Amino acid sequence: MKNVLLAPLDPVHDIGLKMIARGLEQAGHKTTLLPPDLGSEEIIEQILNSPDVDTLLLSRTLGYGVGELLARFVDLADAAGVREKVKIGIGGMAIRPELAAELGFDAGFGPGTTIEEVVCFVEGREYRPDPNRTNKNKPDLTEGYDYTYLHAGIAAKLEKISSFILDWVKDKWSPGVERARLRDELWDVERWRKREGNGDLYQHYLPLCSELPKKFYETGELHPKTRRFTREEVAGLERYLEDTKARMSVLKLQHTRKKPYVFNQYGTGCPFMDIGHILASEAWGADGVVHFDPSWGARTEGFLDGFLTHQEDGTVITPANLNRIYLGLEKSTLWQIRAHRGLNTPETVVLAGKIGADLTKINFCYGSLAAGTDPERMVVDAYHAMLYAKKYKLPFDVVTNEELAGVPAYKAFAGMLIVSDLAVRLGARPILQPLFAYSPEVMINELMEDNYIDFNAGKVYALRGIINAPIWPGAPIGFLTHTEDRVQSAMTTALHASLAASLGVDAISIASTDEAYSGGPISAPAKVDTLRAVQEGFRFLGQGTITPTDTAVRYAERITDGIEKVLEEVIKAGDIVAALHKGLLGSREEGAYPGRAGKGTVETQKES
Amino acid sequence: MTHLIDLSLGLAGTAKNTGKTTTTAAIVGELRLRGIPFYLTSIGYDGENLDNITGLPKPKLRVEPGDMIATAEKCILTSTAALKRVLSTDIATPLGKVSVVRVERPGLIETAGPNKSSEVKRLRNLLREFGPGIAIFDGALNRIAPMSETDGIVLATGAAKTPDIPRLSWETRLISHITNLPVVPAAEILRNKGFSTVALIAPDMSTCAAWPRSSLLTETDVDLIFSREIMENSYLYIPGIISEQAVNALLTHLQCYNKRLFLAFADPTKLLVSGNARIFEALSLALAEAGVFVGVLHSVPMLAVTVNPFYSEYRYETQTYRPAFVDAVRLQLAVQRQVNVPVYNIVKQGAAKLVDLIITRVGRWESPATVRF
């Protein structure tokens, strides 16, 4: 048992000390709490009068000049000879260990100090923080889901649709599919990492590429907005990583719930800056990060190579860029590389799998209706991408961001379920990604006139009533509720995150507070804004819940009915590509335009 | 000149931002130039990029190959210099244990050394065992107590303490007065007796009385002492500190006492920490009139004063601090008029003269293993 004297060096503040005194007593120590507003000499006198005291805990709210006051206190204690037998700790809002050391205290306790930390100091034990707070493990977001259907009607329709898609797609191929096959079969990532080259991959690869990559491999000419990193920049990155990793620790945002896991996106164009952003995200608690590539990458047949920086947002996918980013990641961080929208979809999945990503993103409906890729090409490429996702054990989300163009949720969901059903039949692990957003559909139909809860909750209710599958709202949550006001933006993200937690979903994607209005690359402080806000949201909610109104159930019913009708129409069309062109999964009037990139590139394999 | 020298030098500041680190850097630069070996450490922690309290930048110490630094583990990890550990100690600080390192490639470093007097003494002895040189203890904030273990101090003061120049020079005079207190005649005998609590010693050096505490903090403490008969030429020895209340009570008793008495403190820092130098000056003047001889057992002389015209001015409208300066020449002259040691503005004058002065104080280094016959 230790004898601890606690003294506030403030006129009134002693609440923190009272809490600590209670904690110390519970740990079996004797405590004496002195009243506030005693002078330094009076506190020293108390110590001299109590020869059994072995620890003194002081508290003070720091302001200008107080540093000197506290140093003087330590001086008095030293000169009076009490420091040899009494340990002195100081706590207060502005105290950090470095400041305590500068002032000459044996320990400093700042904001966020746990009672256990103080008990350890009093008992002379080394404080080991709760490993759950800092040692994070990578979760499998699909664990515990068996993809069984709870809605027999929708299940039956999806089976029919998958069946005709499979029948149609099975002998189709495209340059994208062929490049993925070459990357899968001819590219040995371990040899490449050992700088032993790419084998004869590029001999076969080149004819399958469009002009930009061809020029690059033939003449070394890069995309006009990209350049290679210099040797000094690479050395700088390595130094930066070494320095930062030495001090790095990760944070857990979740409070008493395990889920949802929190993802944010990076993609400044510069992989060096991305690595900095990822480290900031990890340090402030992100569980996963999402690679965002430039839009021209999706319209280009083939990848470039080398460690490249891009002067606009979107970080170019090259093996070297991905590998550098991979090497910078913390072990616990889930890494998603999006493959969903362009002419490199299957090869992106292969590359992601070989380099070490944990997740990818595939949706041929979104890719062809809202991202500019020809529907036929997109379906063929997505089919092969799913097979590779299975091979490389990469679960993928099925994004529904076509809603942002104006496609109603039930149509986007019908598309998401078609993709997911097909994926499950191929042995892959899809994750449903409804949008938590103030979407055009919501605005036009005034679905969120009263609150932002019911329609988002209705979406989750609808999906839960259809299939037992993981749900990962995105992307990002609260989209179109954000403004350029960072406080507002962080707040609305935190509220949507709390709703997601209350609904028990598996993961969420959040934006930075400047994402919608940055006019350029997003900034690290703006990422920290939303991570901190979400952490506070989770802390606020705990095991509590947000109760939607009855309207949420009505919305869910409406969405489910809508999905069933859309699926019925797709079956009538008898052809997924035709259904996409006809607007059954999102029409031109709704802002969905079937893309043209890669048109005419699908070929039917000849019988061998 | 021979460099078999031995000195431990304290850099004490009267407040944050009075230029301790600048003075240290200048002294170190000058010693390096002259090839004089030194060990650099600090009392507590210093050298942060940003001032912890005001948020304004502070100089970080640049070190060069061959420099010897004693600092805590975390500072070694974050230093940009290449360092070779030459001695590990078990002196603990909140930033890890103190090690002595030799700089192999230049860079910036933060120093965090021991913050208790007893540990400053231990480190000093370890460094002395290691080899000759000047051990420089850069004081953190206004920490003064651990300076008792040094051979002398350079006081860094300036507008950061108060931008009121007359007040600052007057306060410096009070500090100078205390650090110049003479060593009492029977100092060696008293040191050998090793009193750790307040004691009354008869003129024949026998102990009349000893109280259980090291310090005089209340009127009652003082009344207890004077409740007994005190012989003329006795010593009242206070190893710890004395409070303002006790000073006033002592004055009341001694003014009626009217006999010669030696009032002995362990060292000047015990009086400086109380922060009531003004009252102590009044006491010592009144005591001198009453025939009381005030002195110390260990002298910690003030060798020089450095002045810094910088201060952080608080802006109420933005609740931030901004850099401001008082008139540097006026400040230096005003302080110089009040003290009988040299006063330097290091930024303007450099450290050559200060180092000349420091060198006059060094002793000859001998290995602690030296055997005398």
pLDDT at B47: 45
Closest to B273 (Cβ–Cβ): which among A76, A98, A107? Answer: A76
Would you say residue A345 has pLDDT above 90?
A: yes
The band of B230, judged by pLDDT with boundaries at 50, 70 and 90, is confident
d(CA B370, CA A547): 83
Flag whether residue B209 sits within 8 Å of chain A, measured between CB atoms.
no
User: Does B371 map to a domain?
Assistant: no
Domain with residue B149: its CATH number is 3.40.50.300
pLDDT number for residue B76: 87
| Min distance B140 CA to chain A CA atoms (Å) | 6
Nearest to B53 among A64, A78, A84 (CB): A64
**Token pair of A343, please?**
């002419």
**Residue found by looking up tokens 């583990």 in the block:** B73
Quick check: A403 and A436 in contact, CB under 8 A? no
**How much is the ipTM here?**
0.83
- Looking up residue B191, the CATH number of its domain turns out to be 3.30.750
Task: Give the integer Cα–Cα distance in Å for A592 and A372.
Answer: 10
Q: How far is CA A409 from CA A226, A243, A398, A433, in A?
A: 37, 46, 13, 11
Pairing of strands B82-93, B96-105: antiparallel
**A96: nearest CA in chain B?**
B52
Using the 8-state DSSP alphabet, how is residue A420 labeled? H
Cβ–Cβ below 8 Å for B215 and A80: yes
The answer to whether A480 and A438 have CB atoms below 8 angstroms apart is yes
Tell me the C-alpha distance between A555 and A463, whole Å.
12
Asked whether the beta carbons of residue A67 and residue B148 sit closer than 8 angstroms, the reply is no
What are the tens digits of pLDDT across the range B282-296?
777 788 888 888 899
Chain A touched by B44 (CB under 8 Å): yes
pLDDT-derived band of residue A284, with 50, 70 and 90 as boundaries?
Answer: very high
Task: Find, among A460, A450, A539, A465, the residue nearest to A500 by Cα.
Answer: A460
Q: Is the pLDDT of residue A234 over 60?
A: yes
B111 occurs within a structural domain? yes
**Structure-block tokens of residue A588:** 């031109």
pLDDT value at position A133? 54
- Is B90 in the same domain as B172? yes
- Output the pLDDT for position A501: 98
State which H helix or E strand residue B237 sits in. strand B234-238
Quick: pLDDT tens for A114-162: 888 899 999 988 777 665 456 688 999 999 999 999 999 999 999 999 9
pLDDT at B49: 47
Q: If you count residue pairs, one on A and one on B, with CB atoms under 8 Å apart, how many are there?
A: 122
Strand partners, B305: B155, B343
Domain A152-557 has CATH 3.90.1110.10: no
Give the bridge partners for B294, in sequence order: B263
Of A66, A78, A107, which has the smallest distance from its Cβ to B145's Cβ? A78
Same domain, B163 and B206: no
- Residue B36 sits in the same domain as residue B127: yes
Arithmetic mean of pLDDT, A152-178: 96
The whole-number pLDDT of residue A13 equals: 62
Q: What residues of chain B lie within 8 A of the CB of A107, using their CB? A: 94
Query: How far does A126 lie from chain B, in Å, by closest CA?
Result: 12
More confidently predicted of B50 and B310: B310
Most confident of A221-225, A233-237, A250-254, A500-504: A500-504
Q: Is A52 on the interface with B (CB under 8 A)?
A: no
- What is the architecture of the domain spanning A3-128? 3-Layer(aba) Sandwich (3.40)
Same domain assignment for residues B305 and B287: no
Tens-place pLDDT, residues A453-500: 999 999 999 999 999 999 999 889 999 999 889 999 999 999 999 999
> Chain B contacts of A106, Cβ < 8 Å?
94
Mean pLDDT over each residue of chain B, to the nearest integer: 87
pLDDT beyond 60 at B344: yes
Tokens of A437: 């957003």
My answer on whether B270 and B341 are in the same domain is: no
pLDDT of residue B256: 81
Asked if A44's CB is within 8 angstroms of B115's CB, the reply is no
Distances from the Cα of A215 to the Cαs of A312, A322, B283, in angstroms?
21, 22, 91
pLDDT for B29-81, tens place per residue? 999 999 999 999 988 775 454 445 554 544 478 899 999 999 988 888 878 88
Identify which of A393, A397, A396 has the alpha carbon closest to the alpha carbon of residue A433: A397
DSSP string, B248-261: HHHHHHHHHH-S-E
Q: pLDDT category, A111, cuts 50, 70, 90?
A: confident
Give the B window 223-282 contacts with A, CB below 8 Å: 239-241, 243-245, 269-270, 273-275
Interchain contact B18–A (C-beta under 8 A): no
What are the domain boundaries of chain A?
A: 3-128, 152-557
In the predicted structure, residue A264 carries a pLDDT above the cut 50: yes
pLDDT class of A173 with cuts at 50, 70, 90: very high
The domain containing residue B292 runs over which residues? 187-296
Q: Which residues of B touch A75 (CB under 8 A)?
A: 142-145, 269, 273
DSSP secondary structure code for residue A4 in this structure: E
For chain A, percent of residues with pLDDT exceeding 90 = 71
Q: Is the pLDDT assigned to residue A538 strictly greater than 70?
A: yes
Q: Is the pLDDT of residue B315 over 90?
A: no
**HEC readout, chain B:** CCCCEEEEEEEEECCCCCCHHHHHHHHHHHHHHHCCCEEEEEECECCCCECCCCCCECCCEEECCCCEEEEEHHHHHHCCCEEEEEEEEEEEECCEEEEEEEEEECEEECCECCCCHHHHHHHHHHHHHHCCEEEEEEECCCCCHHHHHCCEEEEEEECCCCCCHHHHHHHHHHHHHHHCCCECCCHHHHHHHCCCCCEEECCCCCEEEECCCCCECCHHHHHHHCCCCCCCCEEEEECCCECHHHHHHHHHHHHHHCCCEEEEECCHHHHHCCCCHHHHHHHHHHHHHCCEEEEECCCCCEEEEEEECEEEEEECCCCEEEEEECCHHHHHHHHHHHCCCCEECHHHHCCHHHHHHHHCCCEECCCCCCCCC
In chain B, positions 182-201, which contact chain A (CB-CB < 8 Å)?
A: 196
pLDDT at A448: 94
Contact of B215 with chain A, judged by CB distance below 8 Å, is answered with: yes
Number of domains in chain B: 2
B239 vs A66, A71, A81: nearest CB: A81
B167 residue type, one letter: R
B90 and B235 co-located in one domain? no
Are B140 and A97 a contacting pair at CB < 8 A? no
Q: Give the closest residue to B19 by CA, choosing from B266, B309, B296.
A: B309
The torsion defined by the Cα of B241, B245, B248 and B254, in degrees rounded to 10, comes to -60
Rounded to an integer, the average pLDDT of B299-328 is 89
Averaged pLDDT, A200-226: 91
Test A98 with B146 for CB contact under 8 angstroms. Answer: no
The model's pLDDT over B107-151, given as tens digits with 9 standing for 90+, comes to: 888 888 888 899 999 999 999 998 999 999 988 766 788 999 999
Q: Are residues B222 and B333 in the same domain?
A: no
